[in-house]
Amino acid sequence: MTAPVYLDYAATTPVDARIVDALPGWLAADGAFANPSSTHIAGRQAAALVATAAEQVASVLGCEPGQLVWTSGATESDNLAILGAARYRAVRGRHVVTMPTEHKAVTDAFRQLEREGFDVTWLAPSPDGRLSLEALRQALRDDTQLVSIMHVNNETGVVQDIPGIASCCRDRGVLLHVDAAQSFGKLPIDVAAWPVDLLSITAHKIYGPKGIGALYVSGRPGSHIAPLFHGGGQQGGLRPGTLPAPLIAAFGLAAAIAADSMHRDHDHLSRLRKRFRDAIRDIPGLRHNSPDAGFPGIVNVSAGDVDGESLMLALEPLCVASGSACNSARHEPSGVLRALGLDDAEAQGAIRFSFGRQTTDREIDFAAARYRAALAKLREIAPGDAA
């Protein structure tokens, strides 16, 4: 196999070298490997690791360490927030609101709520992919309990107006959950200033390990949620299980590094995006699915006249996504892109290029050239238009 060129940072990222270097000190026999719930010396060392990490993550969100619940990742955080809040508040009302352009972890949680008898309003995006505050305001009812809207879309990079959405929700006494898996550590977030109640994050999108995430829970009156599972009483019973202190410490360090390099990263990604867009600008027949105002690390483009799977193969050794990563193993055209108005052909021919801290100009140039060549090749062998 040729050495892969990885442009799929929106799916997952490699672990930062500084974290890899620190891990033995957290995992190994002479590290802080103990159970942080144990009262003995080794347990307290592990607890200290967790406390530091909680401060690091909290300071990136603008919250208190005690407002974080550690989970296995954003999928679990999304479900804990959505199922947990809706089920807890079901006695007050059973209307909940989201968008079809959310991540599967959110849309599938809402489909579960539908099966449980909740009434879900699916708000369509404006043509730019954003939720209009007017549409949201109209959707809120007296029995609305929960709204869930993502910050940055994982397929297109569209950024929602979370502060605006949050005010809308707070005005009406509705809980707001935000899936910030793609924005945490990359765009400023301030849950102290934005009236958000629940917010999901995950380490593996910011050069931390896979398998650890968190849910911010404001804890203000009325924001309580039901746990997904039960056990040893850890984390106030909201999310039990032996705390994986080394993973949490890694998440904390990843958050601290992300905060420190947020502006640098953003500039880097903006420059890469411009370079890539410039390089593919003259390719005919492309539809650009990522708005200029979107997160610069994601460029989604589609060609409706080529087969998506063949395009992926022709792009090798480029590692990019067709549809979202979780969809790529199946073969459905992305529901998110369909909701943005693409037809099936355009959606299945979409490629998401996503860049990261390690991405170089050379890789961008290689990707653009490869994309150009792959499209040319597939178009060349395709039959003419008259079918």
Partner 1 sequence: MVTDPYSAEVRRLFAAPAHAGTLPGAETVRAVAQGVDVELSLARDGDRVSALRFRARGCPHFLAAAEALCAGYEGRPVAELRAFRAAELVERLPVPIDKTGRILVLEDAVRSLGA
Ligand X SMILES: Cc1ncc(COP(=O)(O)O)c(C=O)c1O
Which are the catalytic amino acids?
326
Cα separation, 78 vs 299, in Å, equals 25
**Residue 236 binding target from ligand FES, ligand X, a second copy, none, CB below 5 to 8 Å by type:** none
- Tokens for 242, please give them: 């032996």
For ligand FES, the closer CB: 134 or 309: 309
Q: Does 310 bind partner 1 (CB under 8 A)?
A: yes
For ligand X, the closer CB: 177 or 204: 204
Q: Smallest distance from the beta carbon of 339 to ligand X, in angstroms?
A: 15
For ligand X, the closer CB: 223 or 242: 242
Q: Let me know: does 9 contact 355? Beta carbons within 8 Å.
A: yes
Residues from 292 through 311 that contact ligand FES (CB under 6 A): 307, 309
Query: CA torsion sign, 280 to 286 to 289 to 292?
Result: positive
**Per-residue string for binding with a second copy, 109-148, x by CB under 8 A?**
x-xx------------------------------------
Residues from 314 through 353 that contact partner 1 (CB under 8 A): 314, 329
Residues 6+ apart with CB under 8 A from 167: 195
Contacting residue, 135, 305, 327, 339, with partner 1 by CB under 8 A: 305
For ligand X, the closer CB: 182 or 300: 182
Give me the residue whose beta carbon is nearest to ligand X. Answer: 73
Note the residues at the interface with partner 1 (CB under 8 A): 36-39, 43-44, 47-48, 50-51, 234, 243, 305-307, 309-310, 313-314, 329, 378, 380-384, 387
Note the residues at the interface with ligand FES (CB under 6 A): 307, 309, 331
